[in-house]
Amino acid sequence: MSSRLRDEFLRLLREDVEFRYAVMGLLGIEEILRKISENTQAIRDLQKQVRDLQEQIRDLQRQVIEHK
């Protein structure tokens, strides 16, 4: 980023309330989207763990039935 562009950007942040809110909104949206993506992956991981546990429970149930 050029020095002039950076200086103009910083000036707008200081002096232009509407611009500042627009930038804050954009930054907030990016953070929210990142968090949603992280949470989505965590949910997928938990779903896989639940499926694995369900399969283990079914295996144990079969073993109990076989030993009756």
Domain around 47: 3-66
Domain count along the chain? 1
Give the model confidence (pLDDT) of 23-53 as tens digits: 988 888 888 989 999 999 999 999 999 999 9
| Distances from the Cα of 27 to the Cα of 8, 48, 68, angstroms | 18, 32, 62
- Reading the block at residue 17, the tokens are 């309330």
pLDDT at 15 over 80: yes
Task: Write the CB contacts of 51 (distance below 8 Å, at least 6 apart in sequence).
Answer: none
pTM comes to: 0.57
